[in-house]
Amino acid sequence: MTRSAITPLIMPKWGLEMREGTIAGWLVDEGRRIEVGMPVLDVETDKISNAVEAPDAGLLRRKVAKDGEVLPVKALLAVLAEAEVSDAEIDAFIAAYEVPAAGGDEADEASAFQWAEVSGIRVRYARRGPEAGVPVLFVHGFGGDLGNWLFNLDAVAETAPVIALDLPGHGQSDAKLPGTSLAALADFVGIFLDQLDVARVHWVGHSMGGAIGAQFALDHPQRVASLALVASAGLGAEIDGGYIDGFVKAASRRELKPVIEKLFADPSLVSRQLLDDLLRFKRIDGVTELLAGLGGALFGGGQQAVLPATQLPAAGPPLLVVWGAEDHVIPAAHAKAAPTGATVAVLPGAGHMVMMEKAGEVNALLRKHLAR
């Protein structure tokens, strides 16, 4: 056997700001056969915890990382190899493994984000992946930011150029809105793409970001190569008005926590850091009023005002609809309203933030969808 038969399992990089992760627990014993995509161990970052999934199949020969250990991105976590590979070869592989430079300095962090001035509003965005090809544009939902895609951006960027932005009035973009209608937000994203010289995109939208994408596809069909709607608004009237109001009004960690827990099937995923980051956003002057205006216009009284995704033509661009079965904000039943021809996947064990809770499955669905 050669060394190439040894497959390392390494610390993943979840999102642009991840530098290190803590081993929260192994899910599989040594000697167990691993399949592709199988969760092998839990890792916690300061943002969230998640399972590391096996990139390749193989026999789990050695757990290198210990419970509770804090390791940098790309550090060796485990070794997969067939039974023919000797223990000595595995020892030698582990001894020779060097963590590649993770580029963990601040200069790298700063260059992870770029800024554009769009219609007088400063917008933060990230661009990753190869140069060539139609970019995949990730658009977050109400009150979110591009960090919502932390488990997805790098995975998709392996094969396609990726753009993710903080919508106006969200994340670190300026606390201003171009308007409170889906059409105004869709037009704004169009101008943003013009400025980046991007003519067409694969649109991946979560929640409100999906509804904006559907509106964009109706208004500018030639600019949308495909559309992926993740727990999307715009497919049915119901939405949890209590969530929208609660999110807008919550002024403290204690008030915000139960609201944010509604986003997940597993509420323990709501970390201190996640809440702190949201509070930092919500405390900025003008944000509360801005969110109240936007939430009222789009989702006032627990009803979605417009349903652009139901108007998408059946002969339109390829359409993927993904939902978490336990979505408490927008019911997963709305997936049934997807136009004929859409690929629909409802994933059990996930809530509204399905792209975080079932990142591996959502990434696989996205890869397949983008390859169509």
Q: Which lies closer to other proteins via its Cβ, residue 46 or residue 266?
A: 46
Q: Give min distance, CB of 142 to other proteins, in A.
A: 20
Q: Which lies closer to other proteins via its Cβ, residue 161 or residue 178?
A: 178
Q: Give min distance, CB of 291 to other proteins, in A.
A: 14
CA dist 214 and 270 (Å) reads 29
Q: Which lies closer to other proteins via its Cβ, residue 200 or residue 282?
A: 282
Q: 48 — phi, psi (to 5°)?
A: -165, 165
74: three-class secondary structure by DSSP: coil
Sign of CA dihedral 130, 132, 134, 135: positive
Q: Give min distance, CB of 285 to other proteins, in A.
A: 4
Q: Give min distance, CB of 148 to other proteins, in A.
A: 18
Q: Give min distance, CB of 72 to other proteins, in A.
A: 18
- Write the DSSP symbol of residue 147: G
Q: Which lies closer to other proteins via its Cβ, residue 257 or residue 367?
A: 257
CA dist 363 and 230 (Å) reads 11
Q: Pairing between strand 162-165 and 224-230?
A: unpaired
Q: Which residues contact 316 (CB under 8 A, 6 or more apart)?
A: 217, 221, 224, 227, 339
Interface residue list for other proteins (CB under 8 A): 106, 115, 122, 124, 172, 174-175, 251-254, 272, 280, 283-285
Q: Which lies closer to other proteins via its Cβ, residue 98 or residue 106?
A: 106
Q: Give min distance, CB of 76 to other proteins, in A.
A: 22
CA dist 326 and 34 (Å) reads 28
Q: Which lies closer to other proteins via its Cβ, residue 93 or residue 247?
A: 247
Q: Give min distance, CB of 172 to other proteins, in A.
A: 5
CA dist 325 and 331 (Å) reads 8
CA dist 133 and 161 (Å) reads 7
Q: Pairing between strand 136-139 and 201-206?
A: parallel
CA dist 153 and 127 (Å) reads 9
Q: Which lies closer to other proteins via its Cβ, residue 280 or residue 336?
A: 280
